[in-house]
Structure 1
Amino acid sequence: MRVGSRPSMASVAKLGLLALLCTLAWIQLPTALAQRFANKDQTSLYNRIQSSSQGFVDVDAKEFASIVGLPRDFAVSALLTTTNGGIKCPPCVAFQPEFEKVAQQWNRDKAVKSKHVFVKVEFSRAQQVFAQFQLQHAPVLYTFPAPSNTNAVPDHVSFDFNERGFAAKDVADHINSLMNTKFKFKQPVNTKLVTASITGVITLVGAIFFLAPYVPVLFKSSKPIWMLLCLGSMILFTSGHMWNSIRGAPYVAMGQGGKPEYFAAGFQSQYGVETQIVAAIYALLAFSFIALTVLVPAQRDPTRQRAGVYVWSAIFLATFSLLFYIFRTKNPSYPFRLFF
């Protein structure tokens, strides 16, 4: 270009394009740096989980956002719970050991270890996460699948505790179905139960060996004790204790609004606390019947005898009505009722 001549349109266009590119690069620089640091934090947290002996790590709100943030090539299961602090959550405490079992075994399986990680989000450390998902109850188990070619931003999937229960195997099956993996969960040996069983057997054998000569005398002179033992056993098993032991039913569940749910819907499921409540009702019914047939007739005072009949009859009928009411709560189509 000669001195004093006007710049050509091509030169102006080149300068303008260069200025535009510089401006866009300057605008995108903070975002690129933030993305780089975010990926670095995610990688660091991912490596921590992979090397954890527990199979998971406790995270705060910032770490949670980092580990579930995109892009990533692995899935994340996050347990939102509250097992410490001032909030009491029996279901959270009950599910925590099951969550730990799944996470530990998953982290030891090299075939699936790199495809999925577990994190735990405590309410006391990450209230923002609970607010983000508008949660009013716990525990909640969310799985965030890895992006794919057909779904770049997949939605998280919630584990339904009310439908599936609290068992570790159910959680493992849930994750397998989401990720199409073949992870096999094996229930670990309960060393405490084995030790207690061996100790109990040794104690029982020793007691039988040393007390065998006195057993006939014990049967003859301890009739009330054996009656109570028999009644207690019948009440324990008719209330559903064996069903809970075999099926691994949760002790309690969280209903709508985060309120504890003591009775499971339908006659094909129940909770541990429900068994205890029904057992207490059966025990009161049995004792009131015994009182009416044994204790009340033994009263010599006619006034006390009449009062005993009224009181124990009222207790018996009211308790029986409560039992009917519980059955109708589990299944509204239950046809029987008494007082309420």
Structure 2
Amino acid sequence: MRLLTILTPLLSLLPLALSLSSDQEHWAELSSKSKDGVIKLDSQSYHELLADDREYSVSVVLTALPAQFKCQPCHDFDPSFHQVAASWKRKPKHVRDQHFFAKLDFQDGQAVYQELGLTSAPTVMFHPALTGPNKSNKLSVITYEMNRNGLTAPPLHSFLLNLVPEPFALYKPINPLHYIAVPISLIAITVSLYSMRKILVPLIQSRLIWGSLSIVLILTFTSGHMWNRIKNAPYVAAGPNGQISWIAGGYSNQLGLESQVVAGIYGLLGFSIIALTVLIPAQSSPIKQRVGVYLWLGMLIIVFSLLIKLFRMKNGGYPFALLF
């Protein structure tokens, strides 16, 4: 008789316990049926999910995805929220059923937006468990700072790590397209190169192409182009009287246009030497050879004189000169 007196209050609490368990199982079932574990809500189910006697925590995103709302941040953030939710869904059932991810669209929950006074989207709110073993000291809703953290998944995952019942890793699904596209691309490139071998092989073996490429590289490095890139030298500068100056005084400074002029002078000098050593001897007529020698030798002397003149313009103390 005394035992019955003790059990009577406990038996009276049994329907309430079963009701709470039933509600949690209901949301767990909806979450398991969702691909990413995200429960889609409306105004009524929103309040039902966030009941005052809940033994679970909830992360809710309030968004506005339909095209008429023109909410681009909502579309940018939606994959991130689903990625974090899918990562939580990989936890064992007895763990993941202690926390749920849900989504309420403005079109389905305008009353909730008005109730919360929200004027922008997306907004993520963490609602802690209010009863049960997962109840924490933080009983107030925590809003995710979207403007500060951005719209990507890693900051949201970091935000929830210390709030959910158990830590969880952010899962990044493997994209099989990369494992298919890369081998196919390599095969296609190899086949294309092999089919063009009769054109590519002579080009690769061409002394003219390699010589021209070598000259371009030599001129690029000897003209001071790399120094300009490292020092971020201006292209031209203003002179004393407001005129444009393309030569920087002193040997330790230079301008962008100046290095291009130097590269052009070096190029003409190099081509003059090539003409005298390669092109002129290839001529069959002695007269053409003689004229070519005079012509290119004169070009060599004139261009070299310009180079020395440029040195004298940079530094008046330079003692040498040729024609100018």
- Scaled by the length of structure 2, the TM-score of the pair is 0.49
Q: Which structure has the larger Rg over C-alpha atoms?
A: 2
